[in-house]
A = this chain, B = another copy of it.
Amino acid sequence: MSTSVLNQEIREQPAAITRLIERESAAIARIGAALVARNPAFVAIAARGTSDNAARYAQYVFGAKNRSAVALATPSLYSQYASAPRLDGAAVFGISQSGQSPDIVAVLDAARAQGSYTIAVTNEPASPLAKAADVTIALHAGAERSVAATKTYTLQLTALAMLSAHWRGGGLGAELPALGGALTSVFEVETQIRAAAAVLAKHDHCVVLGRGYNYCTAFEIALKIKELAYVLAEPYSTADFMHGPLALIETGFPVVLVAAGAVLKPELDAFRASLLQRKALLITLGDHHYEALPGEQFIPLRSGLSEWLSPIGAVIPGQLLAYHTALARGVDPDQPRTISKVTLTR
């Protein structure tokens, strides 16, 4: 198992995050100062796949900490329909591991032509995306050899959190510089993760639920479960799920729930009880605010992070859950069928 490239890259994340904070803080501080000076009317973000899930994190962190509305761009309007929405007055981000996607580059080209402030977030500072942008945040991920992105995602989240802190003013604070160290503890719960994976592996579909800051975590865990274990995993906000889609839940229906932070605890605890009452197969990834309920599989999130940073710690056990589910289903997580590393959608 230690020979799996994916497994190695999952475990590299704390060190990669420490490296990002060391190497990129000064550049991110300058971009934060530029955002303060420009005071954009809103933020628009173009991204796909895992990077789009990082954009979902930005919706909450920029929304709550910087009071900025965030629009997820609709790249096809720029690349297919040739009718680009106005982005003047906005700060426009393109997020892409490879920096190669033509449709993401098209959004930044259009935005820059309109005079927007454009920011690339990428692992490849020489990529077309970086060249299209006014400024670039480099993720310093090193080679990501696994086809399924893991460290790219947590580095994207960390970079966005750092930028939010600088944009807000007052620098990184105490928690961000210590992030890499805090994350080492998330690997202590692999026994519980393996037990949950053994159960999940018996199913061909599940839902993955989160809300607020961890809405993105539900999306990213669901994506890893789909692409690694070939289990159809649909992500949902618990608030949206409680309406129509709750009808899906019957005895044994598998639900993965991300629960972090005190704000949502009353609602999420009531929701967990309701899922257990319906005899769902519930796997809860819960932080220090939550306790295991009788009848659920509980995976403790050990990082101890504040809620706004909790998605960085919460996704790693989710990556491991997808990894162990793939192994339990007899799938080689280093050779996922049909997915390619570089996204070239037009």
Contacts and interface: CB of A to CB of B under 8 A. Distances in A.
B240 A49 contact: yes
A44 B223 CA distance: 27
A341 to B, nearest CB: 9
Interface in A122-169: 148
A69 B48 contact: no
Given A67-B84, A74-B60, A83-B67, A49 B205 contact: no
B211 A76 contact: yes
A137 to B, nearest CB: 22
Interface in A224-254: 226-227, 230, 232, 234, 239-240, 242-250
Contacts of A177: none
A72 interface: yes
A310 B340 CA distance: 32
Contacts of A77: 60, 63-64, 212
A338 interface: yes
A87 B63 contact: no
Interface of A: 41-42, 44, 48-50, 52, 59-60, 62-65, 67-77, 80-81, 83-87, 89-90, 103, 148, 204-205, 207, 211-212, 215, 223, 226-227, 230, 232, 234, 239-240, 242-250, 263-264, 267, 278, 336-340, 343, 345-346
